[in-house]
C-alpha cells in the first residue's frame, strides 16, 4: 500500500521478502521514489515476517536510487521484528535511516 502522510510518501510492506518477492519490493520502492513530490519515502516494514539478502539488496538499491534523485529513504523496522534482525545481523542499521515506529520516521 502506498499513501501520502504528512510530508512523506509511505509504502507499507508485509509478509516475506525473499528471492520471489524482492523484485516486487524494488519496483514499488523505485516507483514511490520517482513519484514523490515531497523528497521523503518511508518504507514501513513492520509487517515483514522474513527479510532475505535479496530484500536487503532491494533496500540498498532503493537508498542509492533515492540519493541519486534527491529523495531520502527512511525504513521502519519494529524492535524485535524480522526486518530489524536482518538489518542488525548484516550491520546495515547504521547505513539505512531506520526507525522503530512510523510516527518516529515521519517526525524525523
43-87 pLDDT, tens digit per residue, is 999 999 999 999 999 999 999 999 999 999 999 999 999 999 999
pTM of the model: 0.90
Closest CA to 11 of 27, 107, 88: 27
Q: Are 17 and 53 in contact (CB under 8 A)?
A: no
Q: Are 8 and 42 in contact (CB under 8 A)?
A: yes
Q: For residues 50 and 67, what is the distance between their CA atoms, to the nearest angstrom?
A: 26
Q: For residues 50 and 43, what is the distance between their CA atoms, to the nearest angstrom?
A: 15
pLDDT of residue 108: 82
Amino acid at each position: 500500500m502506498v499513501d501520502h502522510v504528512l510530508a512523506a510518501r509511505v509504502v507499507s510492506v508485509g509478509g516475506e521478502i525473499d528471492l520471489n518477492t524482492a523484485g516486487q519490493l524494488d519496483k514499488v520502492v523505485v516507483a514511490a521514489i520517482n513519484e514523490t513530490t515531497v523528497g521523503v519515502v518511508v518504507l514501513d516494514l513492520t509487517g515483514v515476517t522474513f527479510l532475505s539478502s535479496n530484500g536487503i539488496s532491494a533496500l540498498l538499491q532503493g537508498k542509492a536510487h533515492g540519493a541519486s534523485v534527491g529523495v531520502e529513504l527512511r525504513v521502519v523496522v519494529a524492535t524485535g521484528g524480522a526486518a530489524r534482525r536482518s538489518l542488525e545481523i548484516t550491520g546495515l542499521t547504521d547505513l539505512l535511516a531506520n526507525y522503530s515506529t512510523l510516527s518516529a520516521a515521519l517526525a524525523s
